[in-house]
């Protein structure tokens, strides 16, 4: 399971990884767009790609998956 998550994270582009970090810090799409000097639509596009690559359907499931990853990595 842990290796599967790591492989999926490795599939993210550099920009998607940046957006993911902002999501994990609790920022909204609008806030991320402002910080990264991009349109909110571009951030939504990156979010959609992140969700697809990590096999989740929403930000809530993404956060749950990342929490699970964190829990599993601290349990090892």
Query: Per residue in 4-62, pLDDT tens?
Result: 556 577 889 999 999 999 999 999 999 999 999 999 999 999 999 999 999 999 999 99
Phi and psi for 6 in degrees, rounded to 5? Answer: -65, -40
Instruction: Measure the N-to-C terminal CA separation of the chain; round to a whole number of Å.
Output: 13
Question: What is the structure's pLDDT at 75?
Answer: 63
Tell me what pLDDT residue 27 has: 96
Domain count, the chain: 1
Sign, CA torsion 21/26/66/39:
negative
Q: What is the CATH number of the domain that holds 8?
A: 1.10.10.10
Residue ranges making up the domain that contains 57? 2-75
Look at residue 70 in the predicted model and tell me its pLDDT.
77
- pLDDT value at residue 59: 95
The pLDDT assigned to 4 comes to 56
């Amino acid at each position: 399971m842990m290796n599967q998550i790591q492989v999926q994270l490795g599939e993210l582009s550099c920009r998607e990884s940046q957006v993911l970090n902002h999501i994990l810090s609790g920022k909204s799409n609008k806030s991320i767009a402002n910080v990264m000097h991009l349109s909110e639509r571009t951030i939504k596009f990156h979010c959609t790609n992140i969700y697809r690559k990590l096999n989740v359907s929403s930000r809530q499931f993404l956060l749950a998956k990342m929490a699970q990853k964190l829990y599993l990595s601290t349990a090892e």
